[in-house]
Amino acid sequence: PSVALRNAEKSMQLPIDYYQILGAEPHFSTDAVMRAYEARVSNPPTEGFSVELLKARQQILKVACDTLADRDLRDEYDRGLKEDEAGTLVVEVPWSKIPAALCLLQEAGEAEVVLQVGEALLDENLKKPFKQDVVLVTALAYVELSREAMTENPPAVIRSCDMLNGALRLLQAGGNMLAPSLQEEVYETLEEITPRCVLELLALPLDEEHKSQRSEGLQEVRNILWTAGEGGLMAPVGGYTREQFMKEALSRMTACEQVALFTETPTNIPAEKLEIYSAALAHVAEGFKTKKPRLIQEGGSLFTQLHQSLRDRNDNHLITDEQRDVMLGRALSALLLGEVENCKTFLGLNDVNSPDRCPEVADFVLSGTDGNGDSDLLPGLCKLLESWLAEEVFTNFRETADFHVSLSDYYDDAEVLGYLEKLEKGSFPQEAAAAIARLGEGVTKHSSNRLLPLQIACIAAVFGGLAIASVSYPPFQKVLKSWRVAPLVPALTSAVTLRKGMLCADWVELFSIVFLPVGTTEQKEVLRMDARLAEQLIRKWQAAKAKALGVTRAITQLNEILDGQMLKSWTDRAVEVAKHGWYWEYKLLEINIDSVTISEDGRRAMVEATLQETARLYDSNNPQRNDSYKSSYTTRYELHYGDNGWRITDGAVLRT
């Protein structure tokens, strides 16, 4: 709207629609116009405005009523609206009546006009009663615009918060006595929606354009999380518990931001386990990414603190999932510092009776050794480290979700080696780092013409990264987590045909895994697994998964295709999904069998396949949480042949 301020005449042009401010319509009769006027006069604003404003408000309404109640004046007014609406609506308002006119415009829903004019007026040197009226009507316009923002779909929470903060700024500048109930209402509403606003600010893109807004969100996170109630207890935050809000906030922050938040937290604010664990992961992620072992060392200290706390509370001496996660973090942080022996000790690998020994972790590490027991666990530890970094650490932070893990790049870095040398543990950390770097060179670097990736992965698992001439290696995390290499046996007498070359009989004599890539023929008929059967079994598994997690909740279908740890994990998952009132709709779009690996006795197999699927999640208790995705991923399954035929006993996603 066109608004002109003319100090000389002490008046202002404002766009005032007589019908609008009266709440009347063009078809109203004279009596109806009079009743509309009486209704408006009898319902003045209830709080904060001066007597002068209320009188002027009634006078402006009287002018509007007189115009529309008189037939000749109304005809002239209506004709003006048709011929020149903008010109007709502009009213020259005397200076003393400007706050009243703004008040009527705000009541009529013209909040943007009021905001524009009000903020311009407040830059002037105004007298107190006049200024307080302008402050109040401008604040009401902010509140109205905030409400409108929240009615959008989805709600514009950030803009709503901005509007409410504008209102509160004006009201507080006017003093505690200016519309105290409105101030309280605005403050309470802000307290309620600020957490949602903060989460939206944190979720903005990590670019220069949104840097300022995200910085504002990061500061608000501190304001919220560092506010303690009586006795230091953390009060609920805007519909969230403190822990819920913290979890949501951390999921939108980078590793660097989480490190800063944890480091700057005042000592009088007690840290919860979730905060410590997430901060420990953040230290490791940032330290590895930026090659700053100091951060990893600090993360390891946090894992140690958590480990001791959990051990003190655990009376039954059984390792819980929580303890296992912390134990892994503590041990693998030590490995990143070149402390191989400490890593083994923390995992209980040096003592089968250690309370820290987790059978699953120990088996995983041992599966990557050279077949000589635990004499050289370094290859298995490296495989575990890469998997942990890729699957547990970097996936927790938005900027590192697709980060490529390269142990050789980390351990080869001069600054990393220089820091390890200063750890005052002799030369061992440096020597260990150099060994790991050499090992990483063998198992993580691969060229564009990768030869026999699955075969070399398994050879690496058998020989602990022993260099094999003229071939290159896939990353360790591409080896199936729970794949157990068959016991060494005497020589096999025949050669085995491979995908792009021959595995000589001398190699075959050293280990018992026989490789059957897709498209090759096995020269002995004792092996019953092939690509066609593998595809049938995986399709059967995908169908069972869809039924177990679907609306029918046919969990027993899993028993027809799964066994061992795979059966337990997916049964537990299906029960948990049902308990929450969720269900999934899966649809398998495509499946390609990439390779099949079979043990010599033909009773175990490892299948690598690429699948494409769509899935929809339904939450019967909260439909707003419904979600969907379409994904293509490569996975590796371990299968075993028993009395009931082939069953899938374990699996791992290699890449998405």
Structure confidence by residue, pLDDT tens digits, 1-44: 433 444 445 889 999 999 999 999 988 999 999 999 999 999 99
Closest CA to 461 of 375, 364, 392: 364
Q: Residue 308: what pLDDT?
A: 87
Query: In the predicted model, is pLDDT for residue 439 greater than 80?
Result: no
pLDDT mean over 210-228: 89
Share of the chain above pLDDT 90, in %: 43
pLDDT single digits (tens) 44-53: 987 789 999 9
Q: Name residue 294's amino acid.
A: R
CA distance 132 to 649: 74
Q: Output the 3-class SS for 175-188.
A: CCCCCHHHHHHHHH
Please check the confidence at residue 263 and state whether its pLDDT lies above 90. yes
CA distance to 5, 583, 612, per residue, from 551 (Å): 66, 5, 21
pLDDT digits (tens, 9 = 90+) for 475-516: 323 322 332 222 222 222 222 222 223 233 322 222 233 333
Name the range with the highest mean pLDDT among 216-225, 363-372, 580-589. 216-225
pLDDT-based confidence at 469, cuts 50/70/90? very low
**Inter-helix orientation angle 180-202/242-250, to 10°:** 40
For residue range 169-180, what is the model confidence (pLDDT) as tens digits? 999 887 767 888
Query: Which of the four pLDDT bands, split at 50, 70 and 90, describes residue 235?
Result: low
Instruction: Enter the CATH code of domain 531-655.
Output: 3.10.450.240
Contact yes or no for 386/444 (Cβ under 8 A): yes
What are 488's two structure tokens?
């060494």
Q: Assess contact for 440 and 406: CB atoms under 8 A.
A: yes
**Greater model confidence, 420 or 520:** 420
Is the separation of the CB atoms in 610 and 592 below 8 Å? yes
- Local confidence band at 419 (pLDDT 50, 70, 90 cut-offs): confident
pLDDT score of 322:
86
- Strand partners for 617: 584, 627
User: How many contiguous H segments (helices) and E segments (strands) does the chain have?
Assistant: 26, 10
Neighbours of 409 (CB within 10 A): 17
Q: What is the mean pLDDT of residues 430-445?
A: 50
Give yes or no for a contact between 343 and 427, defined as CB atoms under 8 angstroms apart.
no
- The C-alpha atoms of residue 222 and residue 539 are separated, in whole angstroms, by 49
Q: Is the pLDDT of residue 161 over 90?
A: yes
User: Average of pLDDT values for 84-106?
Assistant: 92
| Residues in a beta bridge with 611 | 591, 633
Q: Give the model's pLDDT for residue 314.
A: 60
Q: Considering only CA atoms, which of 75, 72, 100 is closest in space to residue 88?
A: 75
- pLDDT score for 370: 56
CB atoms within 10 A of CB 136: 28
Q: What is the pLDDT of residue 358?
A: 86
- First CA to last CA across the chain, in angstroms? 54
Q: Of 180, 167, 165, 99, nearest to 132 (Cα)?
A: 99
Sign of CA dihedral 151, 155, 157, 158: negative
Distances (CA, A) of 528 to 221, 560, 601: 59, 19, 10
Helix (H) or strand (E) holding 595, with range, is strand 582-599
**In the chain, what are the domain boundaries?**
4-198, 279-478, 531-655
Q: How many residues belong to the chain?
A: 656
Q: At 346, list the tokens.
A: 């923390």
- Closest residue by Cα to residue 600 from 537, 516, 507, 536: 516
What string of H, E and C letters represents the secondary structure of 458-499? HHHHHHCCCCCCCCCCCCHHHCCCCCCCCCCCCCCCCCEECC
pLDDT digits (tens, 9 = 90+) for 405-414: 888 888 878 8
Percent of the chain that is helix, strand, coil (3-state, to 5): 55, 15, 30
Say what percent of the chain tops pLDDT 70: 78
User: Is the peptide bond between 154 and the residue preceding it cis, with omega within 30 degrees of 0?
Assistant: yes
Distance CA(128)–CA(133), nearest Å, equals 9
Answer yes or no: are the C-beta atoms of 503 and 495 closer than 8 Å: yes
Exposure b/e, 218-230, CB count within 10 A at least 16 = b: bebbeebbeeeee
* DSSP code at position 393: I
What are the structure tokens assigned to 554, written together?
């046919």
Mean of the per-residue pLDDT values of the chain: 79
DSSP annotation string for 129-149: HHHHHHHHHHHHHHHHHHHHH
8 A C-beta contact, residue 328 and residue 277: no
What is residue 388's predicted lDDT score, i.e. its pLDDT?
Answer: 94
C-alpha dist (Å) from residue 357 to 131, 178, 564, 625: 73, 66, 21, 39
Q: Which residue has the tokens 């001069």?
A: 414
**What would the mean pLDDT of 338-342 be, rounded to a whole number?**
89
State both tokens at 326: 């912390």
Contact, 81 vs 71, CB < 8 A? no
Question: DSSP class of residue 236?
Answer: P
| Least confident interval from 72-86, 333-347, 461-475, 570-584 | 461-475
Position 141 pLDDT exceeds 60: yes
Best mean pLDDT range from 110-114, 476-480, 639-643: 110-114
268: alpha, beta or left, given left = phi > 0 and alpha = psi -120 to 50? alpha
Both structure tokens of 27: 């078809």
> Is the model's pLDDT at 151 over the cut of 90?
yes
- What average pLDDT does range 161-167 have in this prediction? 95
Which string of DSSP letters, residue by residue, matches 522-541? -SSTT----HHHHHHHHHHH
Stated pTM of the model: 0.60
Parallel, antiparallel or unpaired: strands 645-655 and 496-497: unpaired
CA dist 219 to 185, 246, 505, 585, Å? Answer: 24, 13, 65, 40
Residue 185 amino acid letter: E
- Sign of the CA dihedral 137, 141, 143, 144? positive
Q: Residue range 301-320: average pLDDT?
A: 78
**What mean pLDDT is predicted for residues 271-280?**
91
Question: From CA 337, how far away is CA 39, in angstroms rounded?
Answer: 78
Side-chain half-sphere CA neighbours of 64 within 13 A:
31
Cα-based distances in Å from 577 to 543, 550, 580, 582, 586: 17, 9, 5, 5, 14
CA distances from 563 to 482, 527, 641, 644 (A): 13, 21, 10, 10
Query: What pLDDT, on a 0 to 100 scale, did the predictor assign at position 433?
Result: 59
Looking at residues 513-533, what average pLDDT do you find? 50
CA distances from 514 to 77, 482, 535, 596, 648 (A): 95, 18, 19, 10, 19
Query: What pLDDT is stored for residue 252 in this prediction?
Result: 95
